[in-house]
Amino acid sequence: DQQVKQNSPSLSVQEGRISILNCDYTNSMFDYFLWYKKYPAEGPTFLISISSIKDKNEDGRFTVFLNKSAKHLSLHIVPSQPGDSAVYFCAASSPGNEKLTFGTGTRLTIIP
């Protein structure tokens, strides 16, 4: 039972345009969401997070939006740069739970 779903395995975006990566979840107890970025042959690195008390969090070119009623979050990257080409994982946790549940990942390719 995949509680965190990333339905697009891959996405290609022109350099300079907006990249939008989507993530859906089924567990209504999830209250903290994170995005990780992974380059080949490296471990994932933390990118941005959002608590369920907010609906938006911004950090430079990266913005995460949370729609609790739809159980949906998205990561916006503006403008997209070649260095953004990577696999992006969304992850979620519930209160007091030491475990983090990851999605299956979306491979983003930025086309120069």
Partner 1 sequence: NAGVTQTPKFQVLKTGQSMTLQCAQDMNHEYMSWYRQDPGMGLRLIHYSVGAGITDQGEVPNGYNVSRSTTEDFPLRLLSAAPSQTSVYFCASSWDWAGNSPLHFGNGTRLTVT
With binding defined as CB under 8 A, does residue 97 bind partner 1?
yes
With binding defined as CB under 8 A, does residue 32 bind partner 1?
yes
Angle in degrees, CA 2, 66, 68, rounded to 5: 70
Beta strands per DSSP E along 1-99? 4-5, 10-14, 19-25, 32-38, 45-51, 56-59, 62-67, 72-77, 86-93
With binding defined as CB under 8 A, does residue 88 bind partner 1?
no
With binding defined as CB under 8 A, does residue 89 bind partner 1?
yes
Among residues 28, 46, 56, 78, which is the contact residue for partner 1, using CB under 8 A?
46
Q: Write out the two tokens for 52.
A: 């369920």
Residue 19 near residue 86 (C-beta atoms within 8 A): no
With binding defined as CB under 8 A, does residue 93 bind partner 1?
yes
With binding defined as CB under 8 A, does residue 44 bind partner 1?
yes
The contact set with partner 1 (CB under 8 A) reads 4, 6, 9, 32, 34, 36, 41-46, 49, 89, 91, 93-95, 97-105
